[in-house]
Amino acid sequence: MKIFNPDNEYTFGEIIGIILSFLGGVLALATISAFLNYYFKKYYVEGGNLVFIHGVLQKEKTSIPLCKIQSLRMKRGFMYRLLDMRGVSFDTLASNTAEIELILDDKDWNMLFNQVEMQENGLEEGLEIGQDETVNNRNRRLDVRNVNLIKGAFCQNHLKGMVILAGLFVTLWNQLMSVNDKAAVYVIDYASAHIDFSSFPLIVLVSVAFILYIVMLVLWIGKVFFQYFNMDIQMDEKQLFFESGLVSRNSIRFSYDKICTVYVKRNLIERWLNCCTIMLKQALNATDEKRGADVKIYGSNEAGNFLDWWLGKNYASSSLVASASSGYGLLGYVIRYDFLLSLLATVVLCYYGLYTWIIVPVVYLLVSLAKGLSAVRQSRITLKEDYLEVSNGKFAEVKNYFKYANVEVVRIVATPFTPHFHRVNLIVSTNGTSFVMRSLKEQEAREIYEWLLCRTSRLSS
């Protein structure tokens, strides 16, 4: 505020001094805050438990059995790498608060990680953090090449890049507003005075749209590349270890039991390139809901390996129990907003006499109809003897696999049209995901409902 105050005149040296003083104050506050946050955090392993002590004025002590730690997250940003440190977070499946977080060096991280593995595998306890023993019980390793990663990112919905582009525009706009309130008004007035879309030839509008599309595509692929660079996946019978990142290496190690759903998607481009998108959806606690902890794997064709690991090697030969497919009621549900939007746009265009542009909402509605018909064709629920499969998606083929032990809620919901068409909605929820199968035949839905209730009751007992 002092620097940009027009009533005060400062020399260049005085401005530099003010900026350095400001940065020095911020650095001092950050140092004090970091010291108070982390210096008083202590931990040790005793009797198979991770004991965590924290607090400055009021000491708190938390004890977590090593065998109950469901997730170990690790991040290594630029500063962490310079100091050879790791930010490590712990949480359990039953946790309803934010997880424990520590900053450890590589030696302590490896020893703590080995302690958790030993506890889970039933090995001899008693190692202390700081010893040089290692335990490595992983028996399968998958490497996703960076070329496949870019290929997989290209196969996704490129409009995701619009979120990144919008974030850049919002940041730029906020900076513009913070400099001068009149600057935003000036920009808007200038654009209104010099831009008239009706005067541009169609080829110019198409070229601008194409360039914008390329920018979004590059932003999206760049985001995926930076986040999942050099992806490393390691699996054994009880856990999965996932690590990726270019500038900042982030990893997560979680137990077999924390996965609630394996999601496999193949759109048209992915089928052509013989790849798929895999997502391992986890049972959520407070931290997962806040940050999002699903493991995403782009551009690979390793769905069979993950399903073998999670469902068992004989999952493909599991016998069919029951199945049900959605009817055309799903079509109306999918296109309901698109229909209203197209109708509104058509009315507005007719009001202003722009009859040529009516082709835009018509094409949009036709695409929406194609999307709805594809959703009807792919939407079904299949009960196998060993697992449950929910297929959905619109233009892409999406399959969600989960175990009966993960099912927590099963509901049948009637709609206003049920008395006439005998179609209902079936809702199946786990502790991390929820699926709504719309417009199922009432009799088929009730048979699946009863069977799921019986199966889950038998498993819980």
> For position 96, what pLDDT does the model report?
47
| Helix, strand or coil, per DSSP, at residue 402 | strand
The angle that helices 160-179 and 181-194 make with each other, rounded to 10 degrees, is 120
What phi, psi does 410 have (nearest 5°)?
-130, 125
> For position 28, what pLDDT does the model report?
94
Question: Are the CB atoms for 370 and 437 separated by under 8 Å?
Answer: no
> For position 320, what pLDDT does the model report?
92
What phi, psi does 143 have (nearest 5°)?
-110, 125
Averaged over successive runs of 10 residues, the pLDDT of the chain (461 residues) comes to 61 82 92 82 78 75 72 76 77 54 75 71 45 46 83 80 70 64 62 58 78 85 88 80 83 78 91 89 58 75 87 87 94 94 94 89 94 94 93 92 89 91 93 89 93 80 63
Per-residue pLDDT of 417-458, as tens digits, reads: 899 999 999 999 987 789 999 999 999 999 999 999 888 777
d(CA 432, CA 385): 22
CATH C-level class of 42-137: mainly beta
> For position 332, what pLDDT does the model report?
93
User: Which token pair is 408?
Assistant: 């927590």
User: Which token pair is 266?
Assistant: 């193949």
Reported as type and span, the H/E element at residue 181 is: helix 181-194
Question: Are the CB atoms for 310 and 256 separated by under 8 Å?
Answer: yes
User: Which token pair is 174?
Assistant: 């906020």
**Sheet harboring 249-255: ordered strands across?**
100-105, 85-92, 69-76, 249-255, 239-244, 231-235, 140-144
Question: Residue ranges of the domains in the chain?
Answer: 42-137, 138-312, 329-374
Per-residue pLDDT of 287-341, as tens digits, reads: 444 455 578 888 888 888 888 888 888 888 889 999 999 999 999 999 999 999 9
> For position 135, what pLDDT does the model report?
39
d(CA 266, CA 377): 15
Side-chain half-sphere CA neighbours of 231 within 13 A: 23
